[in-house]
Amino acid sequence: MRDPDGLIARAGVRGDPDRDQHFLVDDRVLDRLPTYLPELDADTTHLLEIGGGTGVLTDRLLEIADEVTVVERDRTLAAFLREEFADEIAVGRLTVIEGDALEVELPPFTASVSNLPYGVSSEITFRLLPEQRPLVLMFQQEFAERMVAEPGTPEYGRLSVSTQHYADAELVESIPKEAFSPPPAVQSAVVRLEPRDPDYEVDDEEFFLRFVKALFTQRRKTIRNAIRNTAHISGLEEPDAVVEAAGEDVLRKRAGAMAPAEFAALAQLAADVSEIGDGQ
């Protein structure tokens, strides 16, 4: 197994906090990350890694996968990965894609294990989640706690509902700052996301997610007022018609107390009784 410090030395680079570069260097953490893939249904035929860095995690993924694809936006690091892993590339076990993970075409993959660039972790996650593949992703601790939060807790919000719409989310490990070089300003955490269909139905997923976003912008207001105040976000043409059609027990609640299934039922009702525009 390649040594993290040795890889950094050979790459001739240093992490740069200004560029959201913090290299994971703790061997024990690196060894554990692939083990968080769901044991029963994780297909490791083709693993995707976003943000390969110096290849410390790549090296471990190659131990368990038939094929690995790494996306790395830093030109210097992408060139280093192609040089360091030339043998694996030559036999078709590793592909290095140089570019932004939000813009490049992603290959078909069976699962992803990634230490994400924190500045774009949300956008990358919501590019991966609709693919319905097992994910083991590292985030800032606070972000991870919001992803897995349950209704009625302070951390519960739009991120919780949107994440749990696609997958069962579990925070499996908190990672200290010292596991990175250079240490980031905040603690990190690993989240396991197991894809599954929600226990409710929505006809228009795009509207459902936009509707949830709208109501959480007014999380201190009752649902009654939040519906009326956020039509410019949700795109509802007739918010008053939605309020009139909804039950009083729902209208008295606040967004933070609404389970995902309740949001889905309300969004479905809203779509049925009101025209929907593009929103903002």
Segment 201-240, tens digit of pLDDT: 999 999 999 999 999 999 999 999 999 999 999 999 999 9
Nearest of 51, 33, 59, 62 to residue 97 by alpha carbon: 51
pLDDT for 40 equals 61
pLDDT for 17 equals 73
Task: Centre a 10 Å sphere on the Cβ of residue 119 and count the other Cβ atoms it contains.
Answer: 11
Q: Domains for the chain: give ranges and CATH numbers.
A: 4-195 (3.40.50.150), 205-273 (1.10.8)
Please check the confidence at residue 90 and state whether its pLDDT lies above 70. yes
User: What is the average pLDDT score of the chain?
Assistant: 94
pLDDT for 118 equals 85
pLDDT for 201 equals 92
- Mean pLDDT calculated for residue range 188-208: 95
- Mean pLDDT calculated for residue range 168-194: 95
Please check the confidence at residue 172 and state whether its pLDDT lies above 90. yes
Please check the confidence at residue 2 and state whether its pLDDT lies above 80. yes
pLDDT for 164 equals 97
- Mean pLDDT calculated for residue range 118-124: 92
pLDDT for 246 equals 97
Binding residues for S-adenosyl-L-methionine: 22, 24, 51, 72, 100, 115
Can you name the residues that pair with 98 across neighbouring β-strands? Answer: 72
Please check the confidence at residue 39 and state whether its pLDDT lies above 80. no
Please check the confidence at residue 42 and state whether its pLDDT lies above 90. no
Does the predicted TM-score (pTM) go above 0.85?
A: yes
> Position of tokens 């060894």?
31
- Mean pLDDT calculated for residue range 19-41: 88
Binding residues: 22, 24, 51, 72, 100, 115
